[in-house]
Chains A and B, each alone.
Chain A
Amino acid sequence: MNTTLSWIRAYVPELSCTDQEYCDAMTLSGTKVEGYERTDKNLQDIVIGQILKIEKHPDADKLIVCQVDTGRETIQIVTGAPNVKEGDKVPVVLDGGKVAGSAHADGPLPEDGIVIRAGKLRGVSSAGMMCSIEELGSSREMYPEAPENGIYIFPEEAPVGADAIEALGLRDTVFEYEITSNRVDCYSVLGIAREAAATFRKPFCPPAVEIRDEQGSVSDYISVEVQDKELCTRYIGRVCTDIKIAPSPKWMQRRLAANGIRPINNLVDITNYVMEEYGQPMHAYDLDTIAGRQIIVRRAKDGDVFTTLDGQERTLDSDVLMICDAEKEIGIAGIMGGENSMITDAVKTVLFEAATFNGANIRKSAKRIGLRTEASGKFEKGLEPQNAEAAINRACHLIEELGCGRVVGGMAQDGAAPVALREIPFEPDRINRFLGTEIPAEEMLAIFKRLELVYQEEKNSLLIPAFRQDLEGFADIAEEVARFYGYDRIPTTLPSGEATTGKLPFKLRVEEKARDIAEHWGFSQGMCYSFESPKVFDRLQIAADSPLRDTVTISNPLGEDFSIMRTISLHGILTSLAVNYNRRNKDVRLYELGNIYLPHSLPVTELPDERMQFTLGMYGEGDFYTLKGVIEDYLGAIGMDKRAVYDPDVQKPFLHPGRQALIQYEGVVVGYLGELHPQTADAYDIGTRVYVAVLDMPEIVKFATFERKYTGIARYPAVTRDISMVVPREVLAGQIEAMIVQRGGKLLENCHLFDLYEGEQIREGFKSMAYSITFRAQDRTLEDNDVTAVMKKILNGLEAMGIELRQ
């Protein structure tokens, strides 16, 4: 929403402030000013001059030499403009002055304008410049009287020597507002002017609407019937006769132009002017095109085709509301009129329409038809029926005032019964308790008065004017007090009352530890999208019947690539690794903490299971065991001290068949890790070995604990035995360790692999392994025979696994 300051001043005549003061004060009272721009930006030293004499340039066919009276002196100006003649009054930039743009260049205006200096053109001195409307920063669209390719010419009565910018109505500022969706009334100049008046505590003077000479009765011209009162709460028609189409007056043209609306003729301009002024879209029909002198408001039929006044054919459906006459459709309600009832210059009698339509219906219709107009944009917000009446009367008033035609008496109307004005109790103490203020009741009442909320003393309540549909109850009233008392004047305190304990829930603490450990090991945190392409499953070679392909699917995605909620977290981290690989970043380690979304059933009827995944991925320095070390470190850090089982029998299709493991803890699968299958690596264009791990955090959180218990420092010495052995290749370290743990019993403190060798000295199909096994008792120093007995059990176990001791 834009307005000029001059238009606001028309209704708040005592308003006196700088542009910046206006901007700040309005923003702080709730009408946010996004920005403003002077309409005379870069226009300096430009006066109305009169051309006294024109001569040919001695050396140039296309140039002329003019003697121009600037009011103070007569100066010589050389120009190439073809349209000037002696006696014309024109805008003249004096030596050192500035214009906003160039007559010939398209595109945006130069930021600092263009300085004009006296000089010589083809040897003849020129002391200034006569300007076209483009050089003044505007266009023929906004100044229809301006000539094409030529100097702007003022009317004869323009005073020579006066400020040309003032005369063009450009001494003004255009403010751009961000109006919030609840303040429908502020999508109008009057609404903003009312706020400005209340903000600056000045009288608000809306236009006095009075039609002096009404002729006949509207019922002789038209009748109105609203068939769908849900979609059209009010329809008002008024008729004007003896229409004389002409340009509208300059003041109206200037105000429209400053709001970005192109002046056309008096009739069209009046409807646009009233729309800006009251926020109520208006439509004008040529009454002679309306069959049966009847307006019927009803829904279209599915498949109806209708030609709008822009000449386009539109296909309709039964949710689109139409304006019809006795025979045909003549307009799409609230969106655009029809070609068949369009106003032409030959119009004699006009039917004005001001109606109130269901905002949501207009919004949806405009979207379906694919036609969003200035009018539909206003109707969408849900307009208020009383305003329609005020607006149509204002339009008729302007018809009379501008001599555009004669107004017929009365309104033809139909619609739902008007709603009674809302009343809200006035509770000053509660308002103060709510705001934390001590504002006197009188001050609140003064604010309400400026906002036209009527205080009814006998009921101690406020009568809410119809245009303030947003005021529904106590809190709204408190806001009105707060914003005009001043948010900045409200004190700052901290909540009193019962103290609460701040805390991070356990799940988030477990995640925080994941970040700490990952980063300790050189992994940086990435963030990946929650939605991805269904093609991801093929890329990861996930089987066609895998439940992972059952996804929560977005019905209106940005595109297929963002259409399913991920059920596996790997794609994000692999894509990120690929980006790094492609950019030749070396030794990349990334992790991510993000959800996957598993539907409970398809189609989705309840919220999916959102499972936090701790995903790690790396390439470059390090291998499978590096990543496994990170997992082990993390599990230890969150108190998962029991021995996790790494089961090689995973069969994840995207992982190397011989280098992957399911991570089990107390018999529960908590994640997996492995080397990426070369085929998957190819699919992501990563030309090196990639290692990934995924921990399923909901399972991890079940086992995690930050409880720690001191168990004492061992008081008796440990006994260590090292064994070196030849092991069949297929026997896994995990199996050997499980056996040692089982047979070691409670004397076993620890066992760890300290040497592993496969190669020349070892026969084919075998590997050499060496373990260091530590025993300790809590209550005594172990004797040799204690250890020998346990070792014997272990050695027997080894033998049973086909393992030979090395001597």
Chain B
Amino acid sequence: MKEKLEQIREEALRQIREAGALEGLNEVRVGFLGKKGKLTAVLKSMKEVAPEDRPRVGQLVNEAREQIEKALEDARTKMEQKLREARLKAEVIDVTLPGKKNRRGHRHPNTIAMEEVERIFIGMGYEVVEGPEVEKDYYNFEAMNIPADHPARDEQDTFYVNGDILLRTQTSPVQARVMEKGRLPIRMIAPGRVFRSDEVDATHSPSFHQIEGLVVDKNITFADLKGTLAEFAKELFGEDTRVKFRPHHFPFTEPSAEVDVSCFKCKGAGCRFCKGSGWIEILGCGMVHPHVFEMCGIDPKEYTGFAFGIGLERISLLKYEIDDMRLLYENDIRFLNQF
């Protein structure tokens, strides 16, 4: 009996070794361990074994069964591994072929620059507000301390609808609209479209964009204005950006300044973008003029504030090295797709 079991086991192991595929292994399992398998047959013939020998023989059968099962399992694992390796080998692809493209659209460079500016000021606690593009003469000029005969009216060649209504020449009127609501303190920016009667050419457009900023509170200082805009410039142009404030004049701020930033192309060394000076003028600003406060019903003895106006195109054209302003309104996709 023992010999017979030995024989069966040996044969099973041999067949397992010789099996070439998973199907072959299955045949071995059926042939030895199945209902009509050879080992099963031995178990079935146990009744012929003497009762006192049965435990020992039973143990031998179980041992043989375990060995065969283990051999089958090992062989199967090995074979599956081999198959997987072969499949992986067959599945080699050319990873240098191009990726599948989703045809994404592109934001206008002005919008990219505007969102960037908005992001910075929202982070500093500013609210974004809007004002009308077709505006009252009062808000565009009078409330900005530019009375009827002021020479600044000539500098800003204005499109008029009639004597009282015009296309705003600046985003500054939004200042007056927000201030006269009387909800203080104010920290706001007002991005938007403005209009001046300039003929279209490479550096002029009758329609362009500004971003107005206004802060009104008790104890706002000129130093706060400097600090805020220095912070803004660093955020927008990089941590190493330097800022220069030059005295200037705007009717609605006093003191006023023009702000230059160290050229973000050449880092101040001098290049064609900064015309060799190392500095680029990016905005005008100043402390809100007391007359403007008075016209908006705010007491300039109690409140102070600062305002600034950024030319959006000035930033987008410089930042992206766009050399012709007309491209911004032509909407050629070969232009737009570069942003």
Contacts and interface: CB of A to CB of B under 8 A. Distances in A.
Q: How large is the interface on A (under 10, 10 to 19, 20 to 34, 35 or more residues)?
A: 35 or more
Of the listed residues B121, B251, B287, the one surrounded by the most CB atoms of chain A closer than 10 A to its CB is B287
Interface in B167-215: 167, 185, 187, 193, 195, 197, 199-200, 206-207, 215
A410 interface: no
A496 interface: yes
Given A475-B255, A502-B127, 13 more contacts: A27-B246, A30-B247, A180-B248, A363-B151, A381-B151, A475-B254, A479-B256, A483-B255, A496-B219, A496-B224, A501-B127, A508-B130, A512-B115
A507 B131 CA distance: 13
A607 B177 CA distance: 14
13 contacts: A380-B151, A434-B221, A475-B255, A493-B224, A497-B220, A499-B125, A500-B125, A502-B123, A502-B124, A526-B108, A562-B206, A590-B331, A610-B134
Given A523-B105, A552-B161, A576-B331, A565 B134 contact: yes
A585 B333 contact: yes
Contacts of B118: 504
A435 B254 CA distance: 11
A591 B336 contact: no
A607 B136 contact: yes
Nearest to A559: B199
Contacts of B224: 436, 493-496
A524 B249 contact: no
B290 A475 contact: yes
A363 B255 contact: no
Given A436-B221, A495-B228, A518 B105 contact: yes
A531 B161 CA distance: 12
Q: Which 5 pairs of residues, A with B, have the shortest CB-CB distance?
A: A436-B223, A436-B221, A360-B149, A30-B247, A180-B249
Given A181-B155, A475-B254, A556-B160, A490 B336 contact: no
B108 A527 contact: yes
A483 B254 CA distance: 11
Contacts of B102: 522
B154 interface: yes
A142 B289 CA distance: 45
A554 B149 contact: no
B131 to A, nearest CB: 10
A706 interface: no
B45 interface: no
B222 interface: yes
A214 interface: no
B104 A522 contact: yes
B244 A488 contact: yes
A434 B289 CA distance: 12
A94 to B, nearest CB: 32
A530 B331 contact: no
A677 interface: no
A491 B285 CA distance: 16
A552 B162 CA distance: 10
A32 interface: yes
A702 interface: no
A525 B247 contact: no
A604 B287 contact: no
B6 interface: no
- Determine the main DSSP class of B at the interface with A: mixed
Interface of A: 27-30, 32, 180-183, 359-360, 363, 380-382, 433-437, 473-476, 478-479, 482-483, 487-488, 490-505, 507-508, 512, 515, 518-531, 552-558, 562, 565, 576, 579-580, 583, 585, 587-591, 595, 597, 603-604, 607-608, 610
A607 B134 contact: yes
B46 interface: no
A474 B126 contact: no
B230 A527 contact: no
Interface in B91-140: 102-108, 110-111, 115, 118, 121-130, 132-136
Contacts of A476: 254
Contact of B254 (A437, A479, A491): A479
A556 B128 contact: no
Contact of A494 (B105, B115, B206, B228): B228
A63 B199 CA distance: 53
Interface in B253-274: 254-258
B128 A500 contact: no
B328 interface: yes
A562 B167 CA distance: 12
Nearest to B160: A555
A529 B337 CA distance: 20
A496 B223 CA distance: 11
A495 B161 contact: no
B237 interface: no
Nearest to B221: A436
A490 B329 contact: no
Given A433-B221, A529-B329, A520 B105 contact: yes
Given A488-B245, A505-B130, A607-B165, A359 B149 contact: yes
Contact of B159 (A30, A495, A515, A554): A554
B161 A492 contact: no
Nearest to A495: B224
A437 B221 CA distance: 9
B223 A437 contact: yes
B133 A497 contact: no
A25 B228 CA distance: 25
B326 to A, nearest CB: 11
A504 B223 contact: no
B30 interface: no
Contacts of B167: 530-531, 554, 565
Contacts of B247: 28-30, 479, 482-483, 487
Contact of A495 (B217, B258, B287): B217
